[in-house]
Amino acid sequence: MAKTAKKRRGPHQNTKAEPDVPVRVGQTVEVEITGMNHDGAGVGRVEGYTLFVKGALSGERVRAQVDHVKKSFGFATMVEVLEQSANRALPPCPLYDRCGGCSLQHLAYEEQLRHKQQIVMDNLRRIGGFSLEGEGAITVHPTLGMSEPWRYRNKSQVPIGEENGALVGGFYAEKSHTIIDMDECLIQHQANDVAVATVKRLASELNIQPYDEVRHAGLLRHVVAKVGVKTGEVMIVLVTAQEEIPQRERLVAAIREQVPGVASIVQNINPDKTNVIFGKTTRTLWGSDVIYDTIGPIKFAISARSFYQVNPAQTEVLYNKTLEYAGATGTETVIDAYCGIGTISLFLAQKSRHVYGVEIVPEAIADAKRNAALNGVENATFEAGPAEVVIPAWYEQGIRADVIVVDPPRKGCDEALLATILEMEPQRVVYVSCNPSTLARDLKVLAEKYEVKEVQPVDMFPHTGHVESVALLVRTDE
């Protein structure tokens, strides 16, 4: 490993901004990569100092350029692979090194699955303090992956901008707001690619101005495309900065003619200076207000702003595992916290006496009720509000849950909800997680009264660093 010199500082330099570490910004070093972090960066050390090297794989020796340093660790970009891992793959996407959408295309898919299992295990050990070996150990199963891990996303949200006087649209470069123009993404459903590319071309032809977020000028901010994978129905959402769309009728007619399967064309108006995609006003320009899709036996209505899992194939895998862990036989009362539009609730209702779903977003609860009616599900009740408020109120009304299912956002469960679960003492808790670190943190709290039996990682987002997990907890009656 190459030796590196410490950077000398003059008497008037700001030492606070430059930590006393064995590497400096711009320096090229050789690094042995001994692991990978949750973002997919290689982890190595230079004279004991940790470097996260983008693009490097575990087991490799690389030459890397230091980009940023902190007191305890730094970041570097790989310049050259000196000793290559057998698990290195050739990314099929020509924009992979520029786009921030994927981070693991350079790692063979089977190894991606092992890496994600390891991420879950590392968090359970480090943050949760759990044992994964010996008596009483938690079983962390191998990650459930896809037989065909491409073209799985059913929703595309593409920012629109301008480059050299031309309209562009694609995905942001990593950690920036620079748009990488593209008409094809290998993890997007082909129908979305066609829809977005068509709208981009038509907007240019009709001189519909792209939005400039710096000047807060222009019209077209985002193009959002959604496809019902099982139904083939396509929804296109035009997110605009103003209400009026020049040549709107010609645009709508051309989209109807040129986008196969289009069933809904919607406008969302967002006049604010913000990086939030959607504004408050949504109106249908043509067709239906919703499109439909199915996951297993359940049919869902998908509106412009409703949340719906972006990988329906793996969602079915995830929800079937949730149903298995719930252990429902038809006699149980189940509470689904963070129920969203009722996706998990409606799966659970198939084998439960009654399901109660709670979600803080009123629009999602409206969708959940609509989806229940759509499927003729009568043993599900939905209520809007914070789970940590609604669930205790249900408890006071005499509702006793045999099973509580939680599927929180990345920040994990609210502390008050965890306290409520411990107080209610359902026989089982099923924790669906999109963040292994907050999963481990929350399981540590619940371990006061529950034994964590097993955790099943599921690869919902192949070629990215994200991993979902389902954990089964059973009450300890001591």
Catalytic residues: 434
Burial of 216-229, coded b for 16+ CB within 10 Å and e otherwise, reads eebbbbbbbbbbbb
Contact 225, 192 (CB under 8 A): yes
From edge to edge, which strands make up the β-sheet containing 179-181?
179-181, 166-172, 155-163, 220-227, 234-240, 262-269, 281-287
Which of 369, 304, 319 lies closest to 341 in space, CA to CA? Answer: 369
Q: Which two tokens stand for residue 68?
A: 């940023």
Vertex 232: Cα angle to 461 and 309 (nearest 5):
30
Segment 360-367 long-range contacts (CB within 8 Å, at least 24 positions apart): 360/384, 360/385, 360/386, 360/387, 363/305, 363/306, 364/306, 364/307, 364/339, 364/340, 365/339, 367/301, 367/303, 367/306, 367/341, 367/342
350 conformational bin, left if phi > 0, alpha if psi -120 to 50, beta if neither: alpha
